[in-house]
Amino acid sequence: MTSVPLTRDEQLPADWRDLLALTKPRVMSLVVFTGLCGLLAAPGPVHPVLGFTAVLCIALGAGAAGALNQWYEADLDAKMKRTAKRPLPAGRMSRQTALHFGVGLAVFSVILMDLAANHLAAAVLAISILFYVLVYTVWLKRRTAQNIVIGGAAGAFPPLIGWAAVTGDVTALPILLFAIIFLWTPPHFWALSLFVRTDYANAGVPMLPVVAGVQSTRRQILLYTLPMIAAAVAPWALGLTGWVYGISSAILSAIFLVLSFAVFANKATEPKSMGPEKKLFAFSIVYLFGLFAALVVDRWLV
Amino acid sequence: MPQEEDELIRKRQRERSRMLAILLGLFVVLMFAITIAKLGINR
């Protein structure tokens, strides 16, 4: 790597708000929520302080992974309109600061998880951070259109970690929760990448719409929706949850399927005519929140 | 170094130090709470 002289802003001490932005707080909210739901859905009691610490560690670990992702992808982020204003591409922070912050936060989150919960939860947290940074960011993202498919596993770990923090083991239900997020990630991200594909193409990221075209991506969205729905209703079908989760997952999945069909039927190639894609992307977030909220309601209120 | 830049550096350092102090304080409280919780569980 060649050394580039630091700009004036990069030489200044980084603003703490930029360090916070490095953790991708919006992405973190979904991670924290699914982690919390995994923790609350687990059988057995958990001390509130230890439960809070476990969720905090999941948030810090996700923040660390986000910071390291931005450290590695600063060149890509600079080429995309959506990410060009982030602290590194905008030149408000040196790369070294981002690297130190990310590594420090990652180590801290894993050690704290080990102290507050158990070795298994800490190990899965460490694996999830390494998976996101090394497997997704470094290895897959710039090389293959399957980046989101395999990389989606990184975002699927939080409920597993939350569960493991309470029970110290991993059973069928947390594995199904992992599968739900893993299979949900491709339709969710591909819906987004359809209407921002010019950004990805300009940055040279081989996202599916860039490599295989918009119609092929729409077909893949529909195809991935089917196993995702199977995974979503499986906890109820296997008797691992009650009727609240069963009905909620069926209704939410039916809406997801209808929206996926609308995307499949859309022939537009211009982002401004991609209403169905934008709707599916927005609903996919509601879908995941809804499923996990129903899981907790089912466990605690029924 | 222009005075304006020097002031900006000092301002950033002050803000970061304040934030670090708050986070360290919260960390101490958290470690205390974790210790009490663990002692309660292992009793």
Domain residue extents for chain B: 1-43
Dihedral Cα A37, A41, A42, A43, nearest 10 deg: 150
Tens digit of each residue's pLDDT, chain A (302 residues): 445 566 666 667 788 899 999 999 988 888 999 999 999 999 988 999 999 999 999 999 999 999 999 999 999 888 888 888 999 999 889 999 999 999 999 999 999 999 999 999 999 999 999 999 999 999 988 888 888 888 889 899 999 999 999 999 999 999 999 999 999 999 999 999 999 888 888 888 888 998 999 999 999 999 999 999 999 999 999 999 999 999 999 999 999 999 999 999 999 888 888 899 999 999 999 999 999 999 999 999 87
The reply to whether residue B34 touches residue A49, judged by beta carbons under 8 angstroms, is yes
DSSP A78-141: HH-TTTTTSTTTTTSS-HHHHHHHHHHHHHHHHHHHHHHS-HHHHHHHHHHHHIIIIIIIIIIT
Determine the distance from the C-alpha atom of residue A217 to the mean position of all C-alpha atoms in its chain, rounded to a whole number: 20
d(CA A232, CA A211): 29
The first and second tokens of residue A49, run together, are: 């302080």
Q: What global pTM score does this model have?
A: 0.89
Go through the domains of chain A in sequence order and give each one's CATH number: 13-168 (1.10.357.140), 171-302 (1.20.120)
Scan residues 9-38 of B and list those with Cβ closer than 8 Å to A: 9, 12-13, 15-16, 19, 30, 33-34, 36-38
Say what the pLDDT of residue B18 is: 94
In chain A, the N- to C-terminal Cα span, in Å, equals 58
Give which of A6, A11, A12, A166 to mutate to test B binding, by max B Cβ within 10 Å. Answer: A12
CB count within 10 Å of CB A61 equals 30
CB A47, CB A20: distance < 8 Å: no
Binned average pLDDT, 10 residues per bin, chain B of 43 residues: 80 91 96 94 72
- What chain A residue is nearest to B9 in terms of C-alpha separation? A12
Say what the pLDDT of residue A141 is: 86
> Token pair 């029970």 is at which residue?
A167
CB A129, CB A65: distance < 8 Å: yes
**ipTM of this model?**
0.86
Of A83, A94, A222, the closest CA to residue A141 belongs to: A83
The reply to whether residue B34 touches residue A15, judged by beta carbons under 8 angstroms, is no
